[in-house]
Amino acid sequence: MSRIGYKVIKVPAGVTVTKDGDNITVKGPKGELTRHFVPEIEMHQEGDEISFTRPDDSYKAIHGTMRANLNNMVVGVTEGYKKEMKLVGVGYRAQKQGEKLVLNVGYSHPVEMTAPKGITVEVPSTTQIIISGISKQVVGQFAAVVRSVRAPEPYKGKGIRYVDEHVRHKEGKTGK
């Protein structure tokens, strides 16, 4: 049984957490994030520590989720989040043209993508993409959208994958 909701969040220096009704805003050196939270779960702030309490066990799941979301917001405005991806395949390449990410991944046409607001996309080499930002949800979602353009296939392993992702290979047909 998880007890994540009871863990205390340490707020580092330079970060302010304010509650306005059901919305919680976190401001830090990298930016500002606002999120709507469930009003039944109460937030208690004492100095640089934040904790959450729930009225009863029917709010058990959302209790831990709210605590994790606020912790991710605090980490995002202080350190930020980053997803690194690589392109595997002959002729697969990525490039940045202005604000657009252009992917050549085996289709008859290049795929152009525009990053959402608050996300920066870097292309250090033609087979590497780095997506970074302060919101863990937005960075992860955009990385998933980029990966879905050409997900890694299990026979040759070609496609767009995360750097730490392991693709299991299948054997394929054999001529017995």
The predicted pLDDT at position 1 comes to 43
The reply to whether domains 4-78 and 81-162 share a CATH topology is: yes
The predicted pLDDT at position 172 comes to 84
What is the residue extent of each domain of the chain? 4-78, 81-162
Tokens of 53: 């309490």
CATH topology of domain 81-162: Outer Surface Protein A; domain 3 (3.90.930)
The predicted pLDDT at position 175 comes to 53
For the domain 4-78, what is the CATH superfamily, name and number?
Ribosomal protein L6 (3.90.930.12)
Closest CA to 146 of 158, 162, 157: 162
For the chain (176 residues), the mean pLDDT of every run of 10, in chain order, is 83 93 94 93 91 89 92 95 96 94 95 94 96 96 96 93 92 73
CA atoms within 13 Å, Cβ hemisphere of 155: 3
